[in-house]
Amino acid sequence: CYGSEIETPHLDALAKGGLRFTDFHNKPRCCPSRASLLTGMYPHQAGMGMMTNDHGLYPYPAYIDDLSRDCVTIAEALKAGGYTTLMTGKWHLTPLGPGEDKHSWPLQRGFDRYYGILQGSGSYFDPGTLTLDNQPIEVSKEDRNFYLTDAIGEYSTKFIQEAAGKEKPFFLYAAFTAGHWPLMAREDRIAKYKGRYAAGWDAMRRARHSKQLSIGIVKEEWGLTERDPRVPAWDVVSFKEWEQRRMEVYAAQIDSLDENIGKIVAK
């Protein structure tokens, strides 16, 4: 819905039937962004001025790097209002070092159900810190079909189905990890995008910009920004096949994300 060549029909449908922001700003990193999303506050107000692995580095309330008890999460507010509160996906709002307890895990911050990873990133096929509610779990070694994006989608629909049988409203926060590194996707989904990036990133940038102009995301007078100076021109890239593969895998990650968003919306 923002001019990409990746096929995202479900995201496109949400944009068409809802809102698509053309002027918005995120926080620079995972933990600060998530703190703001869940509390509606600036990250420093929520105690998340840096990352959770920076916990204890600075003796200031803005840098405890653990979701502050002086703020209220949207889950805590809605739960107090009678909602069933559900979460799936990436948490990344609590320190996970030795001796840390569960005081800032999802269920301790207002959610009734949770499935996902507590850490910031990891394998899509065998993720660390995988958690169901308050209990650490592991992917079965026999489960060769496990893929984290699909699992987040499956638990999202499962939680919705459970909540729909109750006589009260529910709220679901689905925090998919895709397309965060590492670049990992199913082979059949990667094959779908084989050759899609053969023209290289310079041509892709121009194509995306042209599409953004046609759908009104950007204005023509703004022009196309210069390529990041740290990135070489595609013409001089030595390992083009490898770079293409990286872009194909990323596209496959987003394709899987879109498919699972579609399952949630359909439920």
Active-site positions read 30, 92
Q: Three-class SS of residue 173?
A: strand
In sequence order, what DSSP letters do the residues of 17-50 get, joined into one string?
A: HS---SS----SSHHHHHHHHHHSS-TTTTT-SS
Q: Give phi and psi for 88, each to the nearest 5.
A: -135, 150
* The residue type at 85: T
Within 10 angstroms of residue 81's Cβ, the number of other Cβ atoms is 11
**Distance (Å, whole) CA 168 – CA 189:** 38
User: CB-based contacts of 192: which residues, under 8 Å, 6+ apart?
Assistant: 252, 255
Helix (H) or strand (E) holding 113: strand 113-117
CB 238 within 8 A of CB 162: no
**Distance (Å, whole) CA 136 – CA 210:** 47
CA-nearest of 29, 60, 58, 30 to 45 is 60
In sequence order, what DSSP letters do the residues of 45-96 get, joined into one string?
A: TTT-SS-GGGTTSS-SGGG--S--TTS--HHHHHHHTT-EEEEEEE---S--
**Distance (Å, whole) CA 187 – CA 214:** 33
